[in-house]
Amino acid sequence: MDSETINLTVTEYAETFGIPLNTVRTRIKRGQIQTVKEDVDGKVTTLIPVEPSTIPEARVHEPQMDNVKVSELQFELERLRSELQAEKIKNARFEGLEIAFEAQQKTIEAQELANSALNQERTALNTKIKVNRHPLRELIAAIILKLNSY
């Protein structure tokens, strides 16, 4: 091996040469790519010796993500977070309105039941009045009807 040889991890090798990681692993198993084992930070790591001249030119000087791009992505992330928060607030408001609507529907149903019961009672009283016609009773029934209409 030449003194200019550099060692790449399996992942770095795959990225550098644009080869899928599983393909690199398969080639290592078949013996198509030579490797060395090295202790890196207390872990045995598989490294692949590579001569810089064999690395594709476009990959050697691949530019790092610049600060402008990072800033743009951070701005986009914040914008998306804001949109998400706004949607959560809208959903909470909608759920609150939905609960209020359901409560109002139940109130209306209860009022309709009460009105129905009152109408049945009124009909029963009218029937009693017709059966028991008496001037005083008719006066009392008229007063009751008048009071019920309030």
Average pLDDT over residues 28-51: 87
78 with 104, same domain: the answer is yes
Give the number of other CB atoms < 10 A from CB of residue 33: 19
| Cα distances (Å, whole numbers) of residue 143 to 18, 22, 136, 140, 146 | 97, 94, 11, 5, 5
Among 60, 91, 106, which residue terminates a domain?
60
Q: How many domains does the chain have?
A: 2
75 with 146, same domain: the answer is yes
| DSSP-derived secondary structure letter, 6 | E
How many angstroms separate the CA atoms of 56 and 86, rounded?
47
70 with 106, same domain: the answer is yes
89 with 136, same domain: the answer is yes
**Parent domain of 30:** 6-60
83 with 127, same domain: the answer is yes
DSSP labels for 47-97?
A: EEEE-GGGS-HHHHTPPPPPHHHHHHHHHHHHHHHHHHHHHHHHHHHHHHH
Give the number of other CB atoms < 10 A from CB of residue 27: 14
Predicted confidence (pLDDT) per residue in 10-21, tens digit: 988 888 888 899
For residue 85, tell me if it sits in a domain: yes
Predicted confidence (pLDDT) per residue in 137-147, tens digit: 677 878 888 88
How many angstroms separate the CA atoms of 9 and 46, rounded?
6
How many angstroms separate the CA atoms of 80 and 71, rounded?
14
- The more confidently predicted of residues 33 and 130 is 33
54 with 73, same domain: the answer is no
Among 60, 76, 103, which residue terminates a domain?
60
